[in-house]
Structure 1
Amino acid sequence: MDQLSTLIYSIPALLIALTLHEFAHGWVSDKLGDPTPRRNGRLSLNPLRHLDPLGTLSLFLFHFGWAKPVMVNPNYYQNKKQGMVNVAMAGPMMNFLLAFISIFAYYGIIKMLRIGLIPMHGGIITSIFDYLLEFLPFLLSYNLGLGIFNLIPIPPLDGSKFLNALLPEQLYFGIMRYERYFAPILILLLYTGILNIPLDFVNDALFNLMKNISLTILRL
C-alpha cells in the first residue's frame, strides 16, 4: 500500500521531468532555426509525445533514465556543432533548473511553516502544502537523475552529442551505427549497479550544492 500511495507523487514528478527535458531540446533547436521538432509535434507539453519505454522504466526503477530523443536537423544551424551542443545541453540544464526549484520550494515551505505563514492543521491550504512536501523530493530526485544520467557520452543520451562535436564525422557515425544496442546495455549497467558509485557521487554533490544555496538564500 505504501508503494501504491507514492504513485500520486512519483508519476506526476516523472512526467514533468521527462516532458520538460525533451521540450527544452525541441525549443532550443526551434529557436536555432530548425523546424523539425515543431513538425514532429515535439514542442508539446503532452508527456505521451516524449516517453521512451525503456528510459521511462529505468527512471522509475533506478531514478536514472532518458526520454525519446527529439529529432533535429543541424543543417539549419549557423554553426552545426555548436548548435548540437546547445540543443543537447538544453535537456539536462532544464532538469537541473527544475531540481533547484524543487529543493528551494521545499525549504521555502519549511520556513513558512516555521514562521506561521502556513496553517499547521486542517483546511485545503494545509492539504496542498502537505502534498507538496511529499511531491517535491520526488521531483528533485527524478530531475537530478535525468539530468546527470543524460550527460553520459553514450547514445541515446545527450552526452553522446558531444562526441559529434569532438570526434571526426566518420568515427562518430561509425559509433552511431550501433546506437540501438546501447539502451539495453545502459539498463543492464544500472541493474547490476556498476554505474551506482559515479552517478551517486555526482548526484550527492549537486544535491548538497543546491541545498546549501537554498538554505543560504532562505537563511535557514
Structure 2
Amino acid sequence: MNALIQTIAIAALPVIFAITLHEAAHGYAARHFGDPTAWQMGRISLNPLRHIDPIGTILIPVAILVFSAGSFLFGYAKPVPVDFTRLRNPKRDMLWVAAAGPAANLFMALCWAFMLKLAWEMPSTDFTVPLSEMSKIGIVINCVLMVLNLLPLPPLDGGRIAVSLLPHRLAWQFSRIEPWGFPILLVLLFTGILSDIMSPLVLFSARAIETIFGLY
C-alpha cells in the first residue's frame, strides 16, 4: 500500500500537467487564430484546476496505476471549447489549433528529460530520487498523450489535422466518423490493437528524447 501511495504521489504532478496543459495549449492557439471562446470561459489558464475532469484526470490514471501495471498511463481533461467557425481560416487554422496539444506534450517531455538529466547530475540526496522517478513518468506520459492524440481518428487531434489537410469533399466525409471515434478507440483499446499501434511509436519518441539529452 505504501508503495502504491508513493507511486501515485510521484505520478500526480506529471500526469495532471500533461493532461491539463495539453488542453490549455488548444485554447491559446484558438485565441491566437481568432476564436476567443475558451478565453471568454476562463479556460485559457495554466491552473490545472480549471481543466481537471474528475474521471479522466484522476479516476482513470489512478485505476490504471492500481489495476493495470503493464498498461499505458493516460487520461484526459475537460476539453477546451473551440468554435472552429470563428477561426479566421477555419480549415487551415484547425490544423494549428489541433497540433498545439501534442506540441505541448512534446515540449513537456523535453522539459522532463532536462529535469531527469539534472537529477542524474546532482549529488545524490533524498530529493534527487523522487525527481528522477517523476521525470521518467513525465517523459512517458507526455509521449503517450502525444502519440495517442496524433492518431488520425476524429475527434482526436490527429483526426482534426487530417480533416484540415484533406480536400474539402474528403475532409467532410472523413469528419463524419467523429461521432464513432470514441467507440472505435475503446474497441482498439480493449482488443489490444491500440497498444500494438502505440507501443513502438511511444518507445521511439521516448528513446529519441532520451538520446537528445544523453539519457542512457
Structure 1 length normalisation: TM-score? 0.81
**What's the secondary structure of 2:122's corresponding residue?**
helix
Cα distance in 1, alignment partners of residues 184 and 114 from structure 2: 35
**What's the secondary structure of 2:152's corresponding residue?**
coil
Mark the structure with the bigger radius of gyration.
Answer: 1
**Is 1:79 aligned to 2:78, yes or no?**
no
* Alpha carbons of structure 1 residues 58 and 151: separation in structure 2 relative to 1, 3 Å: farther
* Alpha carbons of structure 1 residues 3 and 181: separation in structure 2 relative to 1, 3 Å: farther
Q: Give how far 1:178 is off.
A: 5.4
After TM superposition, the structure 1 = structure 2 runs for residues 52-71 of structure 1, keeping only pairs within 5 Å, are 52=53, 55-56=56-57, 61=64, 62-71=72-81
* Alpha carbons of structure 1 residues 144 and 90: separation in structure 2 relative to 1, 3 Å: same
8 A Cα contact 1:36 1:73, kept in partner: yes
Cα distance in 1, alignment partners of residues 214 and 81 from structure 2: 39
Aligned equivalent of 2:107, options 97, 102, 108: 97
Aligned to 2:69: none
Aligned to 2:39: 38
Aligned to 1:190: 189
* Identical aligned residues as a percent: 37
1:214 corresponds to which letter in structure 2? Answer: F
Cα distance in 1, alignment partners of residues 51 and 178 from structure 2: 19
Q: Give how far 1:168 is off.
A: 5.2
* Alpha carbons of structure 1 residues 148 and 54: separation in structure 2 relative to 1, 3 Å: farther
Structure 1 runs, 4 residues or longer, greater than 6 Å off: none
Instruction: Please report the RMSD computed on the Cα atoms of aligned residues, expressed in angstroms.
Output: 2.6
**What's the secondary structure of 1:70's corresponding residue?**
coil
* Alpha carbons of structure 1 residues 79 and 176: separation in structure 2 relative to 1, 3 Å: closer
1:28 corresponds to which letter in structure 2? Answer: A
Q: Give how far 1:89 is off.
A: 0.5
Q: Give how far 1:157 is off.
A: 0.9
1:6 corresponds to which letter in structure 2? Answer: T
Aligned to 1:24: 25
Cα distance in 1, alignment partners of residues 74 and 50 from structure 2: 20
Q: Give how far 1:191 is off.
A: 2.9
**What's the secondary structure of 1:44's corresponding residue?**
coil
8 A Cα contact 1:64 1:149, kept in partner: no
**Is 1:158 aligned to 2:157, yes or no?**
yes
8 A Cα contact 1:25 1:87, kept in partner: yes
Cα distance in 2, alignment partners of residues 171 and 50 from structure 1: 33
Q: Give how far 1:213 is off.
A: 0.9
Aligned to 1:207: 206
**More divergent stretch after superposition (180-189 vs 8-17):** 180-189
2:5 corresponds to which letter in structure 1? Answer: L
Which structure 1 residue ranges, 5 or more long, are not aligned?
114-119, 121-125
* Alpha carbons of structure 1 residues 158 and 72: separation in structure 2 relative to 1, 3 Å: same
**What's the secondary structure of 1:105's corresponding residue?**
helix
Q: Which has the higher contact order (CA 8 A, sep 6+)?
A: 1
Which structure 2 residue ranges, 5 or more long, are not aligned?
65-71
Alignment size in residue pairs: 206
Q: Give how far 1:204 is off.
A: 1.1
**More divergent stretch after superposition (68-77 vs 10-19):** 68-77
* Alpha carbons of structure 1 residues 178 and 202: separation in structure 2 relative to 1, 3 Å: closer
8 A Cα contact 1:18 1:67, kept in partner: yes
